[in-house]
Structure 1
Amino acid sequence: MAGLMAFLPGVAAAAEINGAQLSPMWGIPFAGILLSIALLPLWVPSFWHHHFGKVSAAWALAFLLPFAVVFGPALAGTSLVHAAVAEYIPFIVLLTALYTVSGGIFIRGNLHGSPALNTGILAIGTVLASFMGTTGASMLMIRPLIRANDNRAHKAHVVVFFIFLVSNAGGSLTPLGDPPLFLGFLKGVDFFWTVRHIFPETLFLVGSLLVIFYLLDSWYYRREGVLPVDPTPDTRRFGFDGIANFWLLGAVVGLVLMSGIWKSPVVFEVFGTEVGLPGLMRDLGLIAVTFISLSITPAKVHSENQFSWGPMQEVAKLFAGIFLTIIPVIAMLKAGVQGPFGAVVAAVTRPDGQPDPAMYFWATGVLSSFLDNAPTYLVFFNTAGGDPQTLMTTLAPTLAAISAGAVFMGANSYIGNAPNLMVKAVAEERGVKMPSFFGYMAWSGAVLIPLFVIMTLIWFR
């Protein structure tokens, strides 16, 4: 347990820290880990491949040790335990369950990556994301998509648009789709409020991305010509192997939904951190689902899916460092206008004191591009008053802007949403040469930002 604590993120722990008293210098470790993820794979790829976990741990300690010296080991220890029990363990348990169960489903058949087929897979994955989560849909659909395109010369763009659509935009319609919306649901936002209020924005973004992708992929396809050799010829009829895992996916969705709906007065205390019975039962259920999937999935299915723990390990180690170093950054944001980032918080309010939906959309979105989008959503949810009834009615445009910004703009960088990094790792493990950190941002800047500007002018003025 003591060894694990060095890696645990502490988003929730930021609530224990007075961000108004912090210097922006406390954000240096967070900036350091972001730059490491961006630059080290380019500068020293071999070192990064073998030691990224150590780099993540080093930046985490660069925050934690000085924090313990300045604010005392008691606060540092309490924050770390709270982060482990309340934040990191549920986070990693859910991701592991979804990764394992989706990795136990093999979609077979003659899948050949034509522009029409690729667009169809992206569309199906986008729809699935709002019902089984962006992580679940991403891990289920990325493997057959890569296999379908393994004879294509140009395929990195296929994965990039997959991240845009399936790993982010697709999760915008229900609380099951993306963690920010689930947090809103826990705060009292109606389950179907989001689909009623940002469906036009989602339809515009998804429709535009699918059209742009089809045109771009068609251009690449024509340039490549017909490739007669398929590295993985597949003559079997279309179907699914490991079909029992679909039931387990349903169990995962049910457990997550149960933890948000079930209200229980039973609370356990773990080293000063309260753990509610619904959350505990959810996590135990997810662990059980993971082991059941591993035990019932035939080895052949895992082999055909090229299932390995590498992508999961990369996400777990990197996000551990990110979530720990993000503690002071979130605390400074939560301090509002009194904190070091007061200008950001003040910018979302108009001179007459009313919230500015456009600024909420961009402030929430830009920060969600690099911070974890779930706590960023909560920061601006509370900045807008924090009353779900008011936000769902009088301030509905503001809540819509916060929701859209948190979910849509998580696609702006690899670290904007956990599935982004998982998809990248799976693709690279299968030989796809993915863009660098800044290379990916060039794609998002060229494709997504203009669409976000149009959305602002239409819906968030």
Structure 2
Amino acid sequence: MVAARRCVRSCLGLAGAGVLLLAGASGALGADGAPALDGAQLSPLWALPFVGMLLSIALFPLLAGHFWHHHYGKVALFWGLAFAIPFALTYGPSATTHEVVHTALLEYIPFIILLFALFTVSGGILVTGNLHGSPVTNTALLAIGTVLASVIGTTGASMVLIRPLLRANDERRYNVHTVVFFIFLVSNIGGSLTPLGDPPLFLGFLKGVNFFWTTTHLFHDTVVMAGLLLTAFFLLDSYYYRKEEGMKLRRDPTPDTEGLGLRGAQNLPLLGGVIGAILLSALWKPGISFNIYGTHVELQWMVRDVLLVVIALVSLAITPKLVRERNGFDWEPIREVAKLFAAIFLTIIPVIAILKAGERGVFSPLVELVTGPDGQPVNVWYFWLTGALSAFLDNAPTYLVFFNLAGGDPHQLMGPLAVTLEAISAGAVFMGAMTYIGNAPNFMVLSIAKHRGVKMPSFFGYMAWSVGFLVPGFILLTFLYFL
């Protein structure tokens, strides 16, 4: 019960922190039906808080890690208010609140609730025992994690499997590459087949993309990338494994005192419940909606979010405390995501409005770059630009930017522009693996590995790995699907 109460407080804190940041400077609620924001009239200066927020995420952990660790919430609040206060003074509190409420109810809150549910449930699943990291074993673990990532999310799969992988290889001298390829496959590329897999795809789902659209349209892209990377990993791991045969073996710090097994298996049906709640919101259309300050919220969306919170609470109630302790489970990662993404979703409001204005907006050069002379999208540029920004900023808001740049109509993007949406989705998910900061699980895995004594490469050292092993695959995808 103590854990359940703690979860309730955490849940309220997550939602509260985000909603307060999203709405804090918006003023009192005004009349219903506030006019839509016309991006053609917005100056590029309105994008500065968004750029500042993303650069803060990229640079502060590297240049001022101690400060960032203790004050990232204040930094997020600063950039959120840097947008909200001037916007309210310029366009009035009523119009500002309309935009904030719309973003919070339709994008931010569902996004955080899904991450919260997956994080909580997967944190109650513990793989016990000590595997021994041979090339076959390691490749099998990566392959399993790649598949799981689309079922329980890249965050969930990363948290469930990174510790077993580290234990399996903790007596080996050469083990850095196992964590690097884990980030490539489990923390990123494996999450490409469902909206549960990676945050940008869930945002697409919230925008109206069908649940199984990514399963059918990104399957071949994912098979190509995963096949290339698993083959490269097996060959590389075999090389290092043979290299270690002539060396004096290190003492295995993980004794074989406990057989291979699974603790917290009662959470597995709850993962099915998460999937069921998402599918319910996609398939059940009661035709009932609520107008909240000009934003129409469908009943099935509200039911989905309530079910996800209940599932997380049930997981906390039925999972032994020892299981979570052995998993190193705590609330800090999800708290950080909640605060940072509150600022991201807030500051991206004018950016999306400008992009929706197309050639009438100040970002028209970008529109021209991704649009051919015949008015059709240039899918190569959508793939590489979405990917490049996803690598250095964050793949979820980057996906939103290019989704809207391509018109923002899910029916068009799933139909005549299907290859464009495929390019945006693949770029956001796959190239989030290019740096430690491209996707939230990357940094979490890095932190856990360093804590367990793995001498992980620096920011640019990791990029040397990603350029060497990922970019050739991306070039191949370009020629196969996007030219």
Interval of TM-score (by shorter of Structure 1 and Structure 2): 0.7 to 0.9
Counterpart for residue 383 of structure 2: 361
Q: Name the SS for the 2:21 alignment partner.
A: coil
Q: Name the SS for the 2:194 alignment partner.
A: coil
Query: Structure 1: how far apart are the matches of 2:267 and 2:407?
Result: 42
Bigger mean CA offset, 424-433 vs 351-360: 424-433
Structure 1 residue 315: Cα displacement: 2.2
Query: Structure 1: how far apart are the matches of 2:60 and 2:110?
Result: 29
Query: Structure 1: how far apart are the matches of 2:43 and 2:214?
Result: 36
Q: Among residues 43, 61, 66, which one is paired with 2:81 in the alignment?
A: 61
Q: Name the SS for the 1:235 alignment partner.
A: coil
Q: TM-score, normalised by structure 1?
A: 0.86
Letter matched to residue 21 of structure 2 = F
Matched, 1:198 2:212: no
Q: Name the SS for the 2:257 alignment partner.
A: coil
Q: 1:425 to 1:282 in 2, by over 3 A?
A: farther
Q: Name the SS for the 2:330 alignment partner.
A: coil
Q: 1:438 to 1:344 in 2, by over 3 A?
A: farther
What is the alpha-carbon root mean square deviation over aligned residues?
Answer: 3.2
Query: Structure 1: how far apart are the matches of 2:372 and 2:174?
Result: 46
Query: Structure 2: how far apart are the matches of 1:46 and 1:182?
Result: 32
Query: Structure 2: how far apart are the matches of 1:341 and 1:236?
Result: 59
Query: Structure 2: how far apart are the matches of 1:98 and 1:154?
Result: 32
Query: Structure 1: how far apart are the matches of 2:318 and 2:454?
Result: 30
Counterpart for residue 412 of structure 1: 434
Deviations for 1:319-358, whole angstroms, at most 9, x for unmatched residues?
A: 3333332323333222222222222222222223333322
Matched, 1:28 2:42: no
Matched, 1:253 2:267: no
CA contact (8 A) 2:423 2:482 kept: yes
Q: 1:71 to 1:146 in 2, by over 3 A?
A: farther
CA contact (8 A) 1:8 1:321 kept: yes
Bigger mean CA offset, 237-246 vs 411-420: 411-420
Q: Among residues 11, 14, 19, which one is paired with 1:5 in the alignment?
A: 19
Deviations for 1:265-291, whole angstroms, at most 9, x for unmatched residues?
A: 222344443322111111111111111
Q: Among residues 292, 302, 307, which one is paired with 2:314 in the alignment?
A: 292
CA contact (8 A) 2:18 2:338 kept: no
Q: Among residues 133, 140, 147, which one is paired with 2:167 in the alignment?
A: 147
Bigger mean CA offset, 376-385 vs 231-240: 376-385
Query: Structure 1: how far apart are the matches of 2:16 and 2:186?
Result: 36
Bigger mean CA offset, 202-211 vs 364-373: 364-373
Counterpart for residue 123 of structure 1: 143
Gaps of 5+ in 2: 1-14, 25-34
Structure 1 residue 179: Cα displacement: 4.5
Percent of matched pairs sharing the same residue = 61
CA contact (8 A) 1:165 1:206 kept: yes
Q: Among residues 46, 53, 57, which one is paired with 1:37 in the alignment?
A: 57
Query: Structure 2: how far apart are the matches of 1:320 and 1:434?
Result: 30
Counterpart for residue 227 of structure 2: 207
- Structural mapping, 1:36-435, within 5 Å: 36-153=56-173, 155-182=175-202, 192-221=212-241, 225=247, 227-369=249-391, 373=395, 376-377=398-399, 380-381=402-403, 384=406, 394-427=416-449, 430=452, 432=454, 434-435=456-457
Structure 1 residue 86: Cα displacement: 2.6
CA contact (8 A) 1:314 1:425 kept: no
Deviations for 1:384-416, whole angstroms, at most 9, x for unmatched residues?
A: 566666655654433432332233223234444
Q: TM-score, normalised by structure 2?
A: 0.83
Bigger mean CA offset, 378-387 vs 87-96: 378-387
Bigger mean CA offset, 295-304 vs 264-273: 264-273
Letter matched to residue 345 of structure 1 = V
Aligned length: 457
CA contact (8 A) 1:81 1:271 kept: yes
CA contact (8 A) 1:349 1:355 kept: yes
Q: Name the SS for the 2:68 alignment partner.
A: helix
Letter matched to residue 313 of structure 2 = F
